[in-house]
Each structure stands twice: as C-alpha cells, then as structure tokens.
Amino acid sequence: MPECIRALRGRMAAAAARAGRNVDSITLLAVSKGQPAEQIRAAAAAGVTDIGESYLAEALGKLEALGDLPLTWHFIGRLQANKTRQVAERFAWVHGLDRLKIAERLSAQRPYHAPPLNVCLQVNLAGEATKGGVPAPEVPALACAVAALPRLVLRGLMCIPPGETDPARQHEWFAGLRALRDSLNAGGLRLDTLSMGMSGDFEAAIQQGATIVRIGTALFGPRK
C-alpha cells in the first residue's frame, strides 16, 4: 500500500503539473468502502488524512476502531433521511447532497459544539436514472437554499460522471462541473471545492480543476 500511495501521488503531481497547478491544492480522499479498518490505518501511516465511506453502518464500525487517529471523515454515499443524525454527528464532510430536506436535517442535527458540516452538492450531469444528484438546471436554486442553512458550509460541487475510457470525454464532464461552479461563484456564492475524479479518471479531473479526488481501487486494490 505505501507503494500504491507513492505511485498515486506521483500521478497526481504529474497531472497537476500538466495543468500548471500545485498538487498541494488537491486533496487525496481515500475511499475505503469494502476495506477493513487495518487498511485505513496503514494508509494513515503512509500520510493519508482524508477517508471516504459510502455506507453508514460500515463506516461507523471503522470510526469506532480508528478513533485514535486524526482522520477527516467524508460521507460520500447516498444519504437517507432516517440516517442523517449519525452523519451530522460523526463526519466532517458530506459529498452526495442532492435534496434540501436532507440538508435541513443535517443542519438541524449538527452538534452545536462541532464546526459547521462541509457539504458538496452532487450534480447528475448526464441525467442518469441510476445515480443520485441534482440535474444541472436545478443546482442554482438548491445551492442558494443550502448556503443559507446555519450549520452547513456549502463548499462546492461533486459528480460521478458516466464511466468513460476516452480521456477527451472525461474532460468534457469535468469541465462541465467546473463551469457550473464558476457560474455559481459569478452569482455571488463562494465555492472552493470540486470533488471529482476516481481511480479511472482522476487525471482528467485534476486537469479540469478538481480539488478533491476520491480514490478507492487505485489505492487499496479491488474491494472485497
């Protein structure tokens, strides 16, 4: 695993250099769904600071087992209304927000002693029925409503585009998310985050401005 992380960081740095960007402006979010807590511990020992989990029950067990580590936990899965409380209490980030009702619950349930919860709106760029996310035309209204909630900080946008092997097509999806973020900022919001790029397409995402790449298999190997 330390070799995987070194190789991954090298690829991230090369992609950043091609785009004239500083690799330090890009967070490696290690996606550990399907991986045991020991794998996360090993990744932390190799310098990983941010962990992404998709399933709440699985994540809670790992949070418990790794409570001694100074990790930043990101919830990246689909969030049901009846599970918001534990996410509001235990995580620092939520990436898959796509409904105002969920955002309102997270804001109301965020403990008063914790800093505001960082959130990204998930955008369904291709209108895929099997994936979560807001259609692009609905993003501005939802963004304004979420930005007004007191215990959330709207940090940016997230996407899971169709799996493309052609880098040119990958670039198009990510450029679309960046353009949407830029237009929201032109309208007065202050979004500093583009959560985009996974094992198969993170280099294109970095070239298009990703600030968080969410990497699972390229770091931990295949999921069990």
Ligand X SMILES: *Cc1c(COP(=O)(O)O)cnc(C)c1O
Stretch that binds ligand X, among 83-91, 98-106, 173-181, 215-223 (CB under 6 A): 215-223
Dmax over CA atoms of the chain, in Å, equals: 46
- Which residues lie closer than 8 Å to 180 by C-beta, 6 or more apart? 123, 136, 139, 157
Binding of ligand X at residue 214 (CB under 6 A)? yes
Verify binding: residue 97, ligand X, rule CB under 6 A: no
Cα–Cα distance for residue pair 1/126, rounded to 1 Å: 34
Give the span between the Cα atoms of 72 and 59, in whole angstroms.
Answer: 13
Q: Which of 68, 60, 74 is nearest to 44 (CA)?
A: 68
Are the C-beta atoms of residues 13 and 51 closer than 8 Å to each other? no
Give the one residue of 39, 49, 72, 199 binding ligand X; rule: CB under 6 A.
Answer: 199
Smallest separation (angstroms) from ligand X to the CB of 115: 23
Give the binding-site size for ligand X (rule: CB under 6 A).
Answer: 13
Residue nearest to ligand X (CB): 216
**198 lies in the binding site for ligand X (CB under 6 A):** yes
DSSP strand pairing (50-53 vs 152-158): unpaired
> Rule CB under 6 A: is residue 125 a binding residue for ligand X?
no
CA distances (Å), origin 22, targets 6, 12, 26, 34, 208: 17, 10, 8, 31, 13
Fill in the per-residue mask, 22 to 41: x = in contact with ligand X (CB under 6 A), - = not in contact: ---------x-x--------
- Binding residue for ligand X, selected from 16, 76, 106, 136, defined by CB under 6 A: 76
By beta-carbon proximity to ligand X, the closer residue of 187 and 221 is 221
CA 148/CA 15 separation, integer angstroms = 35
Q: Which stretch binds ligand X (CB under 6 A): 1-9, 11-19, 104-112, 210-218?
A: 210-218
Binding site for ligand X (CB under 6 A): 31, 33, 54, 76, 160, 198-200, 214-218
